């Protein structure tokens, strides 16, 4: 007992014992892939502007990306519940490898659209990977922390790469950066060949007749689907055009934008674990509420402060605000039937992605009116989201 207690002290309460070999491999792969994508993703909107896209066309490009991703989760969930989840993840991530390569060969923003579509199509693997982690977990009471760690390892990869990418973009050009990204993406995807196969549990003869899903569970799924869509719309309306906003309002270079991105993802990595701990220890609703309060606070700073140094400090909380997704997926995974967990996770994910289709396009039009307008609309939209979170269907979470 003393030895176990000593180990918990050394781990600062973090549930390392809940991580299997496969989850550790997924996290390492995540880190490598994120580092590569982070080299360009935070300045992608600026690259689109370099290719003579208007600000509305930039918003349209991201809407096409999100539309493609919105169509992916439900088919991905069905595939993950029928076939080997390892193979579903690998094939999905393989599509993602070609995205930066297509961007490399593109000479205008329209030619980049197939790359954006492949980026969205790779989301076929998200329900599989969420279900894989929840199913592989040694301790099901720690799923919020495990999923947040999965997101955090992605963000850890992003911590340094946006700043490095911003510097490299100025030094050697965006096209060379995209080639480097392709290499990292290929290594990341290849690592999924090392994880164990995992299938959804098959029904036995006695369970061959599908058990009806209770009306109460369906209500919960519907409530989480509506909430996920609402929160993603509110948050993404402000986040899509953050790079152009910083360059216009502060007149900063791409290295500053990259540093902002690095600090942003540091916040996702470290605050995400704190938020997940709140979700596992007390309630998921409190964790999500903490994310939304961080979002509101940082948007207010964006609206009323133009001090570049202070905005870099704010970027940390700007990143921490997006970890609500791990808590939502954890809540859905907890109520989902074992044999169809991936499909259950995919439904709210799809509704959220549909909301994400609208947000960037709207942001483009709002930005044309004023660079501050997307932030004002996001702030207003977040208020009913907070009230919705406090409604009866979510109280037990």
Mean pLDDT computed over 162-172:
86
Q: What is the pLDDT of residue 319?
A: 87
Q: What is the pLDDT of residue 204?
A: 52
Tens digit of each residue's pLDDT (9 = 90 or more) over 35-84: 999 899 888 988 999 899 998 899 899 889 988 888 888 888 888 888 89
Tens digit of each residue's pLDDT (9 = 90 or more) over 81-113: 888 989 999 999 999 999 999 999 999 999 999
Residue 338: which of 213, 235, 191 has the closest Cα? Answer: 213
Given the structure tokens 């490299």, which residue do they identify? 168
Most confident of 73-82, 171-180, 214-223, 252-261: 171-180
Question: In angstroms, rounded to a whole number, what is the distance separating the alpha carbons of residues 191 and 59?
Answer: 33
pLDDT at 126 exceeding the cut of 90: no
DSSP 251: -
Greater model confidence, 314 or 394: 314
Question: In angstroms, rounded to a whole number, what is the distance separating the alpha carbons of residues 6 and 13?
Answer: 11
Give domain limits for the chain.
Answer: 17-197+215-394
Q: What is the pLDDT of residue 87?
A: 92
- C-alpha distances (whole Å) from 381 to each of 36, 320, 341, 369 are 33, 19, 30, 18
Nearest 10 degrees: Cα torsion 69, 145, 131, 65: 0
pLDDT category, 210, cuts 50, 70, 90?
low
Residue 222: which of 96, 385, 390, 348 has the closest Cα? Answer: 348
**Phi, psi dihedrals of residue 251, rounded to the nearest 5°:** 55, 50
Q: What is the pLDDT of residue 73?
A: 82
Give the contacts of 166 (CB within 8 A, at least 6 positions apart): 42, 43, 253, 254, 255, 256, 257, 258, 259, 261
Q: What is the pLDDT of residue 12?
A: 44
Percent of the chain at pLDDT > 70 equals: 85
Q: What are the DSSP calls for 291-349, one per residue?
A: HHHHHHHHHHHHHH---HHHHHHHHHHHHHGGGHHHHHHHHHHHHS-GGGHHHHHHHHH
Residue 351 CB-half CA count within 13 A? 18
- C-alpha distances (whole Å) from 122 to each of 16, 32, 55, 93, 361 are 29, 17, 26, 6, 21
Structure tokens at 297: 């606070």
Nearest 10 degrees: Cα torsion 94, 97, 98, 101: -160
Residue 198: which of 15, 20, 380, 395 has the closest Cα? Answer: 20
Q: Does domain 17-197+215-394 have CATH number 3.40.50.720?
A: no
Q: How many helices (H) and strands (E) does the chain have?
A: 18, 0
Of 63-67, 333-337, 380-384, where does mean pLDDT reach its minimum?
333-337
pLDDT category, 4, cuts 50, 70, 90?
very low
């Amino acid at each position: 007992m003393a030895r176990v207690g000593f180990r918990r002290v050394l781990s600062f309460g973090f549930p390392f014992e809940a991580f299997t070999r496969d989850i550790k491999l997924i996290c390492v792969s995540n880190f490598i892939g994120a580092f590569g994508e982070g080299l360009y993703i935070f300045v992608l909107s600026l690259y689109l502007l370099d290719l003579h896209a208007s600000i509305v066309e930039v918003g349209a490009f991201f809407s096409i990306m999100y539309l493609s991703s919105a169509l992916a989760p439900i088919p991905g969930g069905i595939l993950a519940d029928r076939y080997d989840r390892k193979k579903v993840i690998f094939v999905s991530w393989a599509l993602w490898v070609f995205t930066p390569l297509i961007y490399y060969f593109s000479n205008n923003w329209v030619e980049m659209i197939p790359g954006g579509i492949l980026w969205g199509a790779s989301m076929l693997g998200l329900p599989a990977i969420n279900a894989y982690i929840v199913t592989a977990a040694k301790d099901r009471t720690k799923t919020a922390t495990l999923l947040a760690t999965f997101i955090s390892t992605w963000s850890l990869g992003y911590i340094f790469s946006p700043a490095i990418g911003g510097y490299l973009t100025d030094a050697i050009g965006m096209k060379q950066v995209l080639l480097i990204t392709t290499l990292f993406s290929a290594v990341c995807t290849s690592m999924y060949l090392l994880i164990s196969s995992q299938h959804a549990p098959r029904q036995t003869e006695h369970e061959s007749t599908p058990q009806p899903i209770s009306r109460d569970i369906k209500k919960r799924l519907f409530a989480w689907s509506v909430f996920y869509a609402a929160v993603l719309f509110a948050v993404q309306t402000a986040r899509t055009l953050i790079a152009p906003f910083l360059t216009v309002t502060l007149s900063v270079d791409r290295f500053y934008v990259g540093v902002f991105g690095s600090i942003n993802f540091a916040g996702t990595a470290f605050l995400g674990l704190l938020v997940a701990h709140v979700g596992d220890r007390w309630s998921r609703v409190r964790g999500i509420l903490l994310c939304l309060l961080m979002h509101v606070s940082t948007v207010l700073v964006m609206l009323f402060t133009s001090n570049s140094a202070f905005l870099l400090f704010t970027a940390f909380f700007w990143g921490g605000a997006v970890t609500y997704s791990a808590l939502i997926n954890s809540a859905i995974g907890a109520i989902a039937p074992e044999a169809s967990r991936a499909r259950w996770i995919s439904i709210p994910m799809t509704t959220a992605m549909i909301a994400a289709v609208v947000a960037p396009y709207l942001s483009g039009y709002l930005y044309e009116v004023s660079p501050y307008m997307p932030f004002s609309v996001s702030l207003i939209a977040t208020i009913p989201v907070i009230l919705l979170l406090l409604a009866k269907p979510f109280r037990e979470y």
